[in-house]
Structure 1
Amino acid sequence: MDDEFLDTSRLPIDRRSRIPGAGFFYPDTVDEELKEQQAKAAIEGSEAVVVTDSDADGLGCIALIREAYDAAIEPEPFLTTLEARLSEDDADEAEDDRPEFESRVALLAAGPHSLGETLERVAEYADSGIDLFVCDLCPDSYETVSEPLETLTSRCDRVSWYDHHQWTDEVFTAVSDAGVDLVVGDSEEECSTDVALRSLEYDFDEQFVELAAVTRDHDLWLNEDPRSQDLADYAFWSGPEEYAAIVGAYGVSLPTVVSEYIAHRRVEKEKLIDLAVERADFKSVGPWTVGITYGRCSQNEVADALRDQGADAAVIVKPAGSASLRGSDDFEKCHLVARQVNGGGHPKASGCKPGIYDDMLDYAHHWTTEGSAAKRVILAAFERVADESVTEA
């Protein structure tokens, strides 16, 4: 395929918002080979390994853990690289020019669906006697992590798991019984960075206490501190190592070049949000109004706009096939809907990816119809949850 077809930056923003980024089109084998190489390089010889989600909450945990282990990465090379990109007006090209870094505490970014595979890599490459931390992740079932986790609990000096998602009793008991120090905070009160802050045996400076508080503001959708949106955006647009290095060194007082970078990226972000809001439809499902839309966008801001227009729940279907579900005080069942569509999460925020994509033609239909099939499947899941709520009542 011609590389120009993968360069969506040349497209008008409306067309760009309807198709996935370039990474979607790379074969999984290429992606997995690269992840394998990176994981091996990070893990081998490490004193501790952190497997975490790559959002601001998960990366806040790695910043705390590295501080506790005196293993933080120096931020200056990242700032120098970022300043050079801004001066050359190519700040969107964020992955090709990362500086080299090294830490005794390895960082492996993962998601719920890749958690088992990531733990397998730790089991393969880590030395015996290391400390392992899993942060801001909840497995869909124990079977997806059981084999590597049991191997690791037998070989590691310590296996700690810090999270705040909605765990089923079955999975919670199984992970705990495997020998894991599992701490799950109240998802209405704490983010995972909070859980790590109170669980690690270390006297953190006020900078890290503030980092946890501001991270919580975004992750629990409180939106009372404007700095929390800066953290969320920066975590999304930067690489995990860059974010962990910067907030580990500066906390929420981000350097000027980082603030300039965020402002640069927000110009396009706001346009993508507006397009997604314009595409939204509103459906009555049981007692709820569901706002549902499609596009590459920042889902939280789109969900806020749909709620302002009367939605009890918002669904944002992405070009890559996944979807984000956001609730409200009148709808706290996002996790129940998501579990029916190959996903999970919080009562007010969840994610899923319907299992409806069998070949590239299915994806082509997805892009040209603005996710019509995925929308039908997810709305049907809302209908089932509504029926179950009536039965329970």
Structure 2
Amino acid sequence: MFDDLIAADLPIARKSILPGTGFFLPDDLEEDLDDERAQAALEGAEAAVVADPDADGLACVALIREAYGDVQNVPEPEGAEEEEDANGEGENENEAEAGADAEVGVAPDADPTVVAGAGAETDDPLEEPEPTPHSVALVPASPHNVEDALARVAEYGSEGIDLFVCDLAPDRYEYVEDELALALETASSVAWYDHHQWSESVAEAVREAGVDLVVGDSEEECSADVVFRSLEYEFDDQYRELAAVTRDHDLWLREDPRSDDLADYAYWTDPAEYVEVVREYGADLPEWAEDFLAEQRVEKEALIERAVSRAELREIGDYTVGITYGRCSQNEVAEAMREQGADASVIVKPAGSASIRGTDEFQLCHEVAGRVNGGGHPKAAGCKPDIYDDMLDYAHHWTSRGAVTKQVILDAFEAAVEEAEAEAEAEAEAEEADDGDTDETDA
């Protein structure tokens, strides 16, 4: 395939409809690259963190590195050193050497629903990994490939390594059973910190395997909160604040404007850079990072505008559901549909996945996603319906603006709403029967 056909600098109108360059990499090539990156990151590491590379997952990495006293390598923008010298400020003693912040990453332009918060586009997605100096290695993973990350830690991690899994929840234990068993053989300890919806059977199986599993309340905590309170380490106020601001975005509270900055920076920059920047600066990003965000947001706003212009509202039961298609920042698009009257919103992505966002009125997002190969929280979930058999299906997906995917997810909404209504009726009847029995007894 000609590079120009999947170029990153497409016009906004086309970029909004098509997936990023990483989508077109063959799976086997991507897996080989992930193996190489993981091996480079894990070489000589004292601990490994398998984490979702969004702001929440990466905050977990920052907390764990702080607890282990891992070295800080704070990236600086190009030209920063020359500016400091010109101003007579001298070198930043924490300045990273060239290439020192290279770390295991994810496929460029990975869909943020499948790999929530994955890094920004890179000029060369096939770039060779460089050794990392960190004693706490980051191995990024999505909810759909956490088992692969566990297998890489088992294969490339040192015997007796400490393993942490953060901000990830398997839908079924059998998805991770074999790989987790291998990781437990390699690691001296495995701790799993999360805040998503776990079924009791999966949680019990993970604990019985020998994992220290801590799952926080998904309506009260983000995964960074869980790590903060679970590690036996006295974090200073900077990290407490980092967890709080991360929670503000991850739970979609939106009370602190800095939380959008953290989420965007985690999405657009390399995971290694994000971790070290928030360790140095906390939730208040430096001016050069803010300048970077301002530049990126010009395109972001244009993509949001395209997606919002395609939005439709559908009535399902007592709820209004907004649905649209596009390569965009899903939270802002969902907020725009909420302002148009949507109780829940669906943003279908060119890569085939979708983000589902709820409100106080609709808190069944995880139930909807669970019906179409996904999962998440009551107010925020993601999925990728298993409906793509070949590239013709994807071609139809792009040209029809996700028509089939939209219908599959709307059908899942109808089924979830009907089931919830049936359960509510059954509970009401049971309560009424109990009240009747009580009245007869009293009489």
Per the TM superposition, whether the score is higher than 0.5 is yes
Give the secondary structure class of the aligned counterpart of 2:232: coil
Which residue number in structure 2 is paired with residue 333 of structure 1?
Answer: 364
Distance 2:153 2:359 in 1: 38
Which residue number in structure 1 is paired with residue 65 of structure 2?
Answer: 66
Give the secondary structure class of the aligned counterpart of 1:23: helix
Distance 2:21 2:229 in 1: 39
CA contact (8 A) 1:273 1:298 kept: yes
Give the secondary structure class of the aligned counterpart of 2:163: strand
Give the secondary structure class of the aligned counterpart of 1:133: strand
Deviates more, 1:149-158 or 1:187-196: 149-158
Q: CA deviation at 1:47?
A: 0.5
Distance 1:339 1:299 in 2: 19
CA contact (8 A) 1:327 1:333 kept: yes
CA contact (8 A) 1:316 1:323 kept: yes
Which residue number in structure 2 is paired with residue 210 of structure 1?
Answer: 241
Which residue number in structure 1 is paired with residue 250 of structure 2?
Answer: 219
Which residue number in structure 2 is paired with residue 87 of structure 1?
Answer: none
Give the secondary structure class of the aligned counterpart of 1:106: strand
Match of 2:277 among 246, 264, 272: 246
**Is 1:121 matched up with 2:121?**
no
Which residue number in structure 1 is paired with residue 226 of structure 2?
Answer: 195
Match of 2:260 among 229, 233, 239: 229
CA contact (8 A) 1:59 1:244 kept: yes
Which residue number in structure 2 is paired with residue 269 of structure 1?
Answer: 300
Q: CA deviation at 1:72?
A: 3.5
Q: CA deviation at 1:73?
A: 3.3
Which residue number in structure 2 is paired with residue 2 of structure 1?
Answer: 2
CA contact (8 A) 1:326 1:350 kept: yes
Distance 2:28 2:78 in 1: 29
Which residue number in structure 2 is paired with residue 79 of structure 1?
Answer: 76
Which residue number in structure 2 is paired with residue 381 of structure 1?
Answer: 412
Q: How does 1:318-329 map to 2 (within 5 A)?
A: 318-329=349-360
Q: CA deviation at 1:95?
A: 5.6
Alignment length (residue pairs): 383
**Is 1:356 matched up with 2:355?**
no
Q: CA deviation at 1:386?
A: 1.7
Give the secondary structure class of the aligned counterpart of 1:292: strand
Identity of aligned residues (%): 59
CA contact (8 A) 1:73 1:102 kept: no
Q: How does 1:119-158 map to 2 (within 5 A)?
A: 119-158=150-189
Gaps of 5+ in 2: 82-119, 426-443
Distance 2:8 2:121 in 1: 12
**Is 1:104 matched up with 2:135?**
yes
CA contact (8 A) 1:55 1:232 kept: yes
Distance 1:315 1:197 in 2: 32
Q: CA deviation at 1:178?
A: 0.8
Deviates more, 1:23-32 or 1:288-297: 23-32
Distance 1:155 1:387 in 2: 46
Q: CA deviation at 1:340?
A: 0.5
CA contact (8 A) 1:72 1:245 kept: no
Give the secondary structure class of the aligned counterpart of 1:79: coil
CA contact (8 A) 1:215 1:228 kept: yes
Q: CA deviation at 1:82?
A: 8.5
Deviates more, 1:100-109 or 1:262-271: 100-109
Gaps of 5+ in 1: 85-91
Give the secondary structure class of the aligned counterpart of 2:76: helix
Distance 2:121 2:167 in 1: 27
Q: CA deviation at 1:384?
A: 0.6
Q: CA deviation at 1:255?
A: 1.4
Amino acid in structure 2 at the alignment position of 1:121? R
Which residue number in structure 1 is paired with residue 320 of structure 2?
Answer: 289
**Cα pair distance change 1:155/1:29, threshold 3 Å:** closer
Q: CA deviation at 1:254?
A: 1.2
Give the secondary structure class of the aligned counterpart of 1:172: helix
CA contact (8 A) 2:41 2:132 kept: no
CA contact (8 A) 1:79 1:258 kept: no
Amino acid in structure 1 at the alignment position of 2:25? Y
CA contact (8 A) 1:72 1:248 kept: no
Which residue number in structure 1 is paired with residue 45 of structure 2?
Answer: 46
Amino acid in structure 2 at the alignment position of 1:62? V
Distance 2:24 2:169 in 1: 27
